[in-house]
Structure 1
Amino acid sequence: MPVISIAAILAADTAARATQMADGGGLQGVPIEFRPWILKADAACPEPEMTPALLASQLWHESKFQTSKEAATSSVGAQGPAQFMPDTWTTWGRDEDGNGQNSPWDIGDAVIAQGRMMCSLLKDAKASNYGGDPRALALAGYNAGWGWVDHFHGVPPQSFARGETYEYVQEILRDMARFEGPGLLQVSGTGAGADALRRAAARMGTPYSWGGGDPNGPTTGFCDGINGYLNGTCSASSTEGFDCSSLVQYAYWPSLQLPRVADEQYNATASRPVARGDLKPGDLLFWSHGGPSSIYHVAIYAGDGKVVHAPRTGRTVEVQPITSAMPESDYFGATRP
């Protein structure tokens, strides 16, 4: 995936992002409201094993970046996007976002507390001399409590707690690659188009899932007999992600509540057509097999002759030139929402 610099996305984010890029790190596939806090939490920890991708993967497995009390309260009472138990929160929680509340439901408070706890656990892991990956030991301590890591002199085995901690560690380390990358597409400017592009760009690296995605973020999709399959297997039903039109709907929601599918999005915006030479970031581009009723793909213009889009099963949300995003002969036109 190419690194594209259009301008600056978050001024407070720039220095931290530059550091991560220099280290070969970077962060992608993360909701934009989480991104600066993840980078801040990483920057506050001197342990080299701490990376933005580690924190992002952990948040994904804890809550899938959900922040509502309905979606982010566990059956045992863990709360918020970082899933803190109330007694643990009293140790690690602070009012990091300055809103006057020290809350595990606030993204800033939760992510910085997560980073603070993980940083401490990484120190414990390296001081323990138990061997193995200190990230694995720290994650096990986060999930089960450091007392159990001490008890087993390492990550608890699969026989412990029905394998919950063992699998938690394995899955987070495995999925870190999903959040590592060249970083977020940087966008300048204000207005609905620029804001939508930022929101879409923050999801770079999120898997494609036919029928998946909604205004709240990635979801599993479905297969319809033709679409959603990878190597003969229905991939969409087990993949949380976006398809092309759900990414667009998500990007503009809630300021503009576009319909769900690409041809309806064209119909909803067709009264504001844009010539290819007049495109601005945030404009919608459409491809068709022949006319507005046969539109099959939509993308968001990212500037410099490129688009952000969810291309197809087996790929992720990414940046591509307009000329190669889809067959050039299928390009139908552009609109401005």
Structure 2
Amino acid sequence: MAMVLVDDDAEATEIPAAKGGLRAVPAEFRPWILKAAAECKQPELTPSLLAAQLNQESGFQTTARSGAGAQGPAQFMPATWATWGRDSDGNGEASPWDIGDAVMAQGRMMCSLLRQAKSSGFPGDVRELALAGYNAGWGAVEAARGVPHIAETQNYVKVILASMERFHGADPVEISGSGDGPEAVRKAATRIGTPYSYGGGGPKGPSTGFCDGRNGYSGGRCAASATVGFDCSSLVQYAYWPDLQLPRTAAAQFGATSDHAVSRQDLKVGDLLFWSHGGDAGSIYHVAMYAGDGNVLQAPRTGRDVEIAPLTSAMPESDYYGATRP
């Protein structure tokens, strides 16, 4: 099984299911971590390993700079960047400060180090050897014939491997079928784990949202304005864009697709499902995408993340309004 990762400005990339899922990372890092892991043929380079390494290197801070001169979220020294850095995000500049450029370079370097670790014959976990090579240089690993007896490096390796579980999300979801609907759900599935942000998100991906006096609040504060993510309708809009340019809100999306109504018994992957207060179109408040096998893919509400959930419990059953086929 494989799923497809689609970046806003990149070609589709298959992600082997064995690589695992991802959680608890900033939304702007998520697609690049998944892409970097997918492009490496070494199964040990999982998204959770890259995420744990980024957290240890910089805490996902794009402006991080070490006293030794390492730069950006993946903490590249200028000489090392000259070897691994590329303009992966297509903005015309290869920069260690750019998230896409930095994470893809991190992935390429770690992938190479894993290959070296496997061919070295040195004892121990090849992930430990590769991480040690990233931190201290492969020459130090060769000299020690293993992880060097350097306190900083040994702690670096230990902390990253111990914290991987924190970033390991559910395995990628298998979405069957071909055509616009399944492709849209596969694209949206790459955002599973992205936070809900009322008013946030759009065709280009997640963004901060806003509060309107009733929605977007958590614990008495406006969570949406500080959360990069999607709300229910922006996730649907993102999933189908640009081939189908749906409007922004759930009610407007129903209006744009209501001439293709679908019964609950005839749902297909990619169909849109709507919930309403009061049982009329003017009170539609939520939209989700049918993901097959009685499940939906949705951005549910403030404090939750994009998820796969059973249709029967995704929202109050009594509020279910109907489905359409975009």
TM-score (structure 1 length as normaliser) = 0.66
Q: Which residue matches 1:44?
A: 42
Is the Cα contact below 8 Å between 1:8 and 1:188 reproduced in 2?
no
Cα 1:9–1:288 shift into 2, 3 Å: same
Q: Which residue matches 2:323?
A: 334
What secondary structure sits across from 1:13 in the alignment? strand
Q: Does 1:198 align with 2:219?
A: no
- TM-superposed deviation, 1:236: 1.0
- 1:71-86 to structure 2, matched below 5 A, reads none
Cα 1:283–1:114 shift into 2, 3 Å: same
Q: Which residue matches 2:244?
A: 256
Q: Which residue matches 2:216?
A: 228
- TM-superposed deviation, 1:277: 0.8
Is the Cα contact below 8 Å between 1:62 and 1:83 reproduced in 2?
no
Structure 2 CA distance for aligned equivalents of residues 246 and 129 of structure 1: 48
* Deviation per residue, 1:285-320 (Å, 9 max, x gap): 000013111000000000001000011111100011
Identity over aligned pairs, percent: 54
Match of 1:268 among 256, 273, 288: 256
Q: Which amino acid aligns with 1:197?
A: V
Q: Which residue matches 2:150?
A: 129
Q: Which amino acid aligns with 2:84?
A: W
What secondary structure sits across from 2:255 in the alignment? helix
Cα 1:176–1:242 shift into 2, 3 Å: farther
Q: Which amino acid aligns with 1:44?
A: Q
- TM-superposed deviation, 1:90: 2.6
- TM-superposed deviation, 1:214: 1.3
Structure 2, unmatched stretches of 5+, are 5-12, 63-70, 114-129, 137-146
Match of 1:9 among 3, 11, 33: 3
- TM-superposed deviation, 1:238: 0.9
Q: Which residue matches 1:115?
A: 107
Q: Which amino acid aligns with 1:133?
A: N
Q: Which amino acid aligns with 2:222?
A: C
Match of 1:316 among 279, 293, 305: 305
Is the Cα contact below 8 Å between 2:95 and 2:101 reproduced in 1?
yes
- TM-superposed deviation, 1:133: 3.3
Q: Which amino acid aligns with 1:277?
A: Q
Cα 1:84–1:196 shift into 2, 3 Å: farther
Cα 1:136–1:240 shift into 2, 3 Å: farther
* Deviation per residue, 1:16-67 (Å, 9 max, x gap): x32x45xxxx3357766763432344x5386xxx64124247499367xxxx
Q: Does 1:27 align with 2:22?
A: yes
* Deviation per residue, 1:120-147 (Å, 9 max, x gap): 5532454252246315999xxxxxxxxx
What secondary structure sits across from 2:296 in the alignment? strand
Structure 2 CA distance for aligned equivalents of residues 82 and 27 of structure 1: 18
Q: Which amino acid aligns with 1:39?
A: A
Cα 1:293–1:174 shift into 2, 3 Å: farther
TM-score (structure 2 length as normaliser) = 0.68
What secondary structure sits across from 1:181 in the alignment? coil
Structure 1, unmatched stretches of 5+, are 1-6, 64-77, 97-101, 139-172
Is the Cα contact below 8 Å between 2:33 and 2:104 reproduced in 1?
no
What secondary structure sits across from 2:308 in the alignment? strand
Question: What is the alpha-carbon root mean square deviation over aligned residues?
Answer: 3.8
State how many pairs are aligned. Answer: 267
- TM-superposed deviation, 1:229: 1.2
Cα 1:44–1:191 shift into 2, 3 Å: same
Q: Which amino acid aligns with 1:13?
A: I
Q: Which residue matches 2:287?
A: 298
Is the Cα contact below 8 Å between 1:9 and 1:188 reproduced in 2?
no
Structure 1 CA distance for aligned equivalents of residues 271 and 262 of structure 2: 8
Q: Which amino acid aligns with 2:237?
A: Q
Q: Does 1:243 align with 2:243?
A: no
